Structure 1
């Protein structure tokens, strides 16, 4: 079995995964956070996220949105308005360089009760060493926050609840199966470089046209979010798999 040669941050994982045609259409444009890359991507997409290449838990994330004659920089629930990208870049440049940031295409997340949400799909190896989807959960952003992460105040909710206002009955059920398959496919691809890992946490976004995006894949996913649900079936299954009893 081929050994893992190196550990990848968000940019490395993105570069690795986009080599696979089956994954390319699900990956938001992601580049190193240089002034020129931020400028190009704001022109292309209107909004971008700045994220630490190796950060977790939603900390240190910025969102830049292009206004009519201004740029809005948001972090946490704070907003600042700048007249030019140079003015905006100056106060954050040292942070971007120090923590090795990436810039990612801004996805307009689907909303439930006027608050955006994304999805975490837990994928784990069973006793035979093949991958199974063991959990799926929604994470709804705290009001006025730019991130959905549980440890940054996001609310964990059943995915069925979050999709109720967008899809009915059978189509909702089928759509959840498509999300689960994408989580498993993404883990299978990244697993080619992380052969020894037994669990992957795949963060998936749905935009307002119902298109799916793979935002990030965690190779050390936090299981505690699943314990917040009233129904403990998924959490118990995840625990069982983590002890190699799945």
Structure 2
């Protein structure tokens, strides 16, 4: 089924009836749209009966002002169009809804705060590909799921009433919002009633990821030993096997709450806590005393207990890697970018929020203590591992993902390890955000939305 890109022109309702569309004659022939026959016009959840009139020497679509208002379409909007003869269905789209955590109606120039520029970038990328995007929040989801109050950008930000979209990209940053009843009800209705799609529909807990991937024999070689922390004996067992172990909040992000436990003597233990100001350290004369000290945290927060790794370093600062994997226009997982992250001088985690710095894989490998015999193949092995993990997540976790941020490490023997998988990857970790620049990660997201919506 082919789709074509064209501009939508809005004309006065006094000149054109709401149940009539005017379509360029050449477009009608290419799409094999029958003239003067009753068809169903579709735009997201919106359906309307129309007839189509061919217009010579015209390469767009004309509709009445009243009809465009009902659909939330603005004049000169570029859209893709497809025709399904078996259903008598003329579809415009794809209509993409991006679900964000909050908006600020009182700030018309920056309604989405720090991510406003990303939203502008996404809007421009959609125009280039013939897609239509709007942005909405949990607060604007009503009980009438066929209509959504959303923001669009056209010579400034404006709020419109729009149909439920063909595709939702879930960019909520808090589990509390994602788990709200109205959000989950909207997702269910979108999929069941309107045949819509939701991708990146849920957060991933660290323990869920490692437990799921353990079932894949081909991935076991890149998984550090990991367990959900249950009791002291479990901690003692892991500490007897490894000189370093990590405790990571299963729902943590940005390096928050990570604890490193290091054996420094026969029964001497150093505990390092990741903090914004740097690493805080505390010594213990026994593992039992150490566990007593952290037991309050362990009772209130679920932790993943994980084997410590000897990461490659540069100047004594550990290096890891963030791979952005996305699905493309064919629905296949691809690598959009891989960057290296070097921990700040007073930190043992590499997150940018903790003073980490970005570099290319080649530059960081060249400056690292990785033996030269492993350097030539390092990038290829990182890419292969990231794609294997993305496919493993898709296979073993029952949820729909279109992009994944995959944190990888490499030890001094050149072995690749999985650190973490993020289902809401930041767009700031691959290339700098610049006014007027559309990044590959943004273009790829739209291509996948086109694939799953049939455009």
Same-fold status (TM-score > 0.5): yes
Decide whether the 8 Å contact of 2:325 with 2:390 is kept in 1: yes
Please report how far the alpha carbon of residue 136 of structure 1 lies from its aligned counterpart in structure 2 after TM superposition: 0.1
Contact 2:204 2:423 in 1 (8 A): no
1:138 to 340, 358, 378: 340
Alignment of 1:174-189 (within 5 A): 174-189=377-392
Which protein is richer in strand relative to its size?
2
Q: How many Å separate the matches in 1 of 2:398 and 2:336?
A: 19
SS for the counterpart of 2:272 is: strand
> Closer, same or farther in 2 for the Cα pair 1:216/1:239, shift >3 Å?
same
How is 1:149-228 mapped onto 2 (pairs within 5 angstroms)?
149-165=351-367, 166=370, 172-192=375-395, 193-228=397-432
1:110-129 correspondence runs (5 A):
110-129=312-331
**Which residue of the partner structure matches residue 24 of structure 1?**
220
Q: CA deviation at 1:94?
A: 1.7
Q: Which structure 1 residue ranges, 5 or more long, are not aligned?
A: none
- Given that 2:268 and 2:283 are in contact with CA atoms closer than 8 Å, whether structure 1 keeps it comes out as yes
| Contact preservation (8 Å) 2:202, 2:423 | no
2:246 counterpart of 1:49: yes
- Structure 2 counterpart of 1:242: 445
Aligned length: 241
The answer to whether the 8 Å contact 1:137/1:159 transfers is yes
Partners of 1:159 and 1:7 lie apart in 2 by: 27
Q: Distance in 1 between matches of 2:410 and 2:371?
A: 13
CA RMSD between the two structures = 2.6
Q: Alignment partner of 1:190: what SS?
A: helix
1:82/1:171 CA distance change after superposition, 3 Å: closer
Distance 2:220 2:374 in 1: 25
Query: Relative CO higher for 1 or 2, CA cutoff 8 Å, sep ≥ 6?
Result: 1
Unaligned runs of 5+ in 2: 1-197, 451-455
Are 1:158 and 1:229, in contact at CA under 8 Å, matched by a contact in 2?
no
Contact 1:157 1:229 in 2 (8 A): no
**Rg bigger for which structure?**
2
Aligned-partner SS, 2:350: coil
Given the two structures, how large is their TM-score scaled by the length of structure 2? 0.50
